[in-house]
């Protein structure tokens, strides 16, 4: 009951603050609704970026990976800091110079409208089929378990999940569809404070429990009992082999933090370039601390439960249940609910933006006034949310949520990132090259990861078992050796697509070189210390890897 009161009260408080923060924003204009009136400050941008990235699929999934492989999985967090620095210095100035509302808008200017539409369609398909349902399902599992919804309502586990899915979906829709980006960003910033406090409490109480009442005894036990698990350089058979840091890992990070609409939209709403850069730098510095919330609890759980949990995905929820004092479980559930809501809101708001600007205005009603664009964008958002709520229960049969999300996202992430990079770094590569790049990248990835790869892995495992190999660790090595890691595949396809596009550009270049014009919508005077702070952040990340390398 305390938990229910906490999260209802917390959600209501955030809603009220968000409302008063947005009443001066004209939500009947595209800038007002989609970009918060281009008025977001560094603090709001940083808080919104961090919380958009934090939800149950990250908190539960990444801690589950740490339970299995230890510190090496921190690459998903620490390397994000470098990606945000690159975005702040290289990509954001170009986005704001062009006055972009969506990333695909640049592709229309650089290549053509068809390229933009294909890209927007890929984003929207990924959001409605994968990302929104995964957020809803994983969040519902967490909330249902923490509040014991089946017992509370006298329903089955499956019915409880469906009830939570629709509850989260409806509340999230109200925030995202009717509040616009500024409502989402402000609520994100408030929730980020609660999530950081709640997230830090878990490893603190976990170490106290591990040390039988003493925090420092627990810390000593964690570091010295299994020192091999504090290796920042993952082995080839682990989820994040060290060499992938130099191949597909950085590409995925750059796509996510630099071109993914749900993320970069916060920076696009900056009041000026300096505020946007400061927001990204602040978020990147805080991201370095991410493993405290997203990795360390999984490592604590491995030692606390002696590695005997039935599934690595149980590491985080079981640790919370075991070590957090009962009165605080309600507070943490409220904070986690805010994180779930934030991720759902962010993806939905980005979807509404992509549809309103790139689909409705471009193809359905080019003469529509901005009020009409916003109106039909909201209608689309409601339909998208309802579709995601129907799809979400089906995710229960998808296996590992984290792997499902990463694997499927690869279909469109690297192809889109490729054409954006080539678009900015070249001036004469034509539109046909971008279309071929998107199609070839997606098709080749699907063939590799869902046909060739699984067949080779299955054959290798069958051969190994036939020779008497049954040890799980040995089988992981066999599986890793059977086919290249999916991050390596992404890097290979990225290079192949770049070469294909450059060859096409050499054979059939566009008639006139592309020039990015300054729209003067916001000041693009950069933050004067952006490069210095960026170098410091990159140096800290490198130092962390050197410090923990075995």
pLDDT at residue 35, rounded to an integer: 46
pLDDT, tens only, 479-488: 889 999 999 9
For the cut 90, the answer to whether the pLDDT of residue 139 exceeds it is no
Q: Two tokens at 212?
A: 């039988």
Q: Which residues pair with 40 in a beta bridge?
A: 270
Q: What is the mean pLDDT of residues 357-375?
A: 78
For the cut 90, the answer to whether the pLDDT of residue 495 exceeds it is yes
For the cut 70, the answer to whether the pLDDT of residue 254 exceeds it is yes
Least confident of 172-186, 379-393, 452-466: 172-186
Q: What is the mean pLDDT of residues 112-125?
A: 85
Instruction: Please report, for residues 64, 183, 202, 544, the alpha-carbon distance to residue 318 in angstroms, rounded to integers and kept in the order given.
Output: 11, 33, 11, 29
Longest dimension (CA), the chain: 72
pLDDT at residue 491, rounded to an integer: 94
pLDDT at residue 508, rounded to an integer: 92
Q: How far apart are CA 64 and CA 48, in angstroms?
A: 25
Q: Which residue is listed with tokens 């309802």? A: 386
Average pLDDT, the chain: 81
Q: What is the mean pLDDT of residues 247-253?
A: 91
Q: How far apart are CA 399 and CA 210, in angstroms?
A: 31
Q: What is the mean pLDDT of residues 70-93?
A: 91
Residue 194 in contact with residue 338, Cβ under 8 Å? yes
CA angle, 319 as apex, 316 and 325 as ends, to 5°? 125
Q: How far apart are CA 389 and CA 379, in angstroms?
A: 16
User: 456: helix, coil or strand?
Assistant: helix
For the cut 50, the answer to whether the pLDDT of residue 33 exceeds it is no
Query: Checking phi first, is residue 429 left (phi over 0); if not, alpha (psi -120 to 50) or beta?
Result: beta
Q: How far apart are CA 78 and CA 287, in angstroms?
A: 6
Higher pLDDT, 509 or 519: 509
Choose the most confident range, by mean pLDDT, from 148-152, 387-391, 533-537: 533-537
Q: What is the mean pLDDT of residues 402-417?
A: 80
CA angle, 149 as apex, 147 and 151 as ends, to 5°? 110
For helices 431-447 and 401-425, angle between their N-to-C axes, nearest 10 degrees: 160
Q: Which residues pair with 270 in a beta bridge?
A: 40
pLDDT at residue 116, rounded to an integer: 86
Burial class (CB in 10 A: 0-12, 13-18, 19+), 470: exposed
- State what percent of residues in the chain have pLDDT above 70: 84
Tell me how far the alpha carbon of residue 205 is from its chain's centroid.
27
Q: How confident is the model at residue 47 (pLDDT cuts 50, 70, 90)?
A: low
Higher pLDDT, 53 or 428: 428
Q: What is the mean pLDDT of residues 217-221?
A: 93
Q: How far apart are CA 501 and CA 215, in angstroms?
A: 56
pLDDT, tens only, 368-381: 777 787 778 778 87
Instruction: Please report, for residues 3, 75, 181, 231, 542, the alpha-carbon distance to residue 547 in angstroms, rounded to integers and kept in the order given.
Output: 40, 14, 40, 9, 9
pLDDT at residue 326, rounded to an integer: 75
pLDDT at residue 261, rounded to an integer: 72
Q: How confident is the model at residue 176 (pLDDT cuts 50, 70, 90)?
A: low
pTM (predicted TM-score): 0.81
User: 270: helix, coil or strand?
Assistant: strand
pLDDT at residue 344, rounded to an integer: 76
For the cut 60, the answer to whether the pLDDT of residue 29 exceeds it is no
For the cut 50, the answer to whether the pLDDT of residue 172 exceeds it is yes
pLDDT, tens only, 282-338: 888 888 888 998 899 999 999 999 988 877 877 887 888 788 887 777 777 777 777
Q: How confident is the model at residue 418 (pLDDT cuts 50, 70, 90)?
A: very high
For the cut 70, the answer to whether the pLDDT of residue 125 exceeds it is yes
């Amino acid at each position: 009951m305390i938990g229910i009161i906490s999260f209802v009260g917390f959600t209501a408080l955030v809603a009220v603050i968000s409302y008063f923060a947005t009443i001066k924003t004209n939500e009947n204009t595209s800038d007002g609704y989609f970009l918060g009136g281009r008025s977001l400050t560094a603090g709001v941008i940083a808080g919104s970026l961090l919380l958009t990235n934090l939800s149950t699929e990250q908190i539960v999934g990444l801690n589950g990976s740490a339970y299995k492989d230890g510190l090496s999985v921190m690459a998903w967090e620490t390397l994000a800091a470098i990606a945000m620095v690159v975005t702040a210095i290289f990509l954001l100035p170009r986005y704001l110079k062009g006055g972009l509302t969506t990333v695909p808008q640049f592709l229309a200017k650089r290549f053509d409208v068809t390229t933009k539409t294909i890209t927007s369609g890929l984003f929207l398909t990924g959001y409605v089929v994968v990302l929104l349902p995964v957020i809803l399902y994983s969040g519902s599992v967490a909330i249902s378990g923490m509040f014991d919804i089946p017992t509370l309502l006298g329903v089955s586990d499956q019915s409880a999940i469906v009830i939570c899915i629709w509850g989260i979906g409806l509340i999230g829709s109200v925030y995202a569809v009717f509040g616009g980006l500024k409502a989402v960003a402000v609520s994100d910033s408030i929730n980020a404070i609660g999530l950081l406090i709640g997230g830090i409490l878990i490893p603190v109480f976990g170490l106290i429990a591990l040390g039988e009442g003493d925090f420092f005894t627990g810390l000593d036990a964690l570091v010295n009992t299994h020192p091999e698990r504090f290796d920042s350089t993952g082995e080839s058979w682990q989820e994040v082999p060290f060499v992938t840091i130099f191949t597909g890992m950085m590409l995925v990070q750059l796509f996510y933090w630099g071109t993914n609409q749900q993320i970069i939209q916060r920076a696009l709403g900056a009041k000026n370039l300096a505020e946007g850069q400061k927001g990204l730098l602040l978020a990147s510095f805080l991201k370095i601390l991410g493993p405290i919330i997203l990795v360390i609890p999984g490592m604590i759980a491995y030692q606390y439960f002696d590695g005997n949990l039935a599934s690595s995905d149980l590491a985080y929820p079981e640790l919370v249940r075991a070590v957090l004092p009962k009165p605080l479980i309600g507070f943490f559930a409220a904070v986690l609910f805010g994180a779930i809501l934030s991720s759902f809101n962010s993806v939905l708001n980005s979807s509404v933006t992509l549809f309103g600007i790139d689909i409705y205005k471009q193809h359905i009603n080019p003469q529509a006034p901005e009020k009409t664009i916003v109106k039909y964008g909201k209608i689309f958002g409601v339909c998208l949310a309802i579709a995601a709520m129907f799809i979400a229960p089906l995710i229960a049969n998808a296996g590992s949520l984290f792997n499902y999300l990463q694997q499927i996202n690869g279909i469109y992430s690297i192809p889109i990132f490729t054409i954006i990079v080539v678009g900015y770094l070249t001036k004469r590569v034509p539109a046909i090259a971008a279309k071929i790049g998107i199609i070839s990248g997606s098709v080749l990835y699907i063939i590799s990861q869902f046909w060739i790869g699984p067949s080779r892995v299955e054959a290798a495992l069958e051969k190994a078992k036939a020779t008497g190999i049954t040890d799980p660790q040995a089988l992981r090595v066999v599986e890793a050796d059977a086919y290249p890691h999916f991050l390596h595949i992404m890097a290979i396809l990225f290079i192949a697509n770049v070469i294909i596009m450059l060859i096409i550009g050499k054979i059939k270049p566009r008639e006139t070189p592309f020039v990015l014009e300054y729209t003067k919508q916001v000041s693009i005077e950069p933050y004067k210390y952006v490069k210095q702070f960026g170098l410091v952040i990159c140096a800290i990340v490198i130092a962390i890897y050197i410090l923990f390398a075995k």
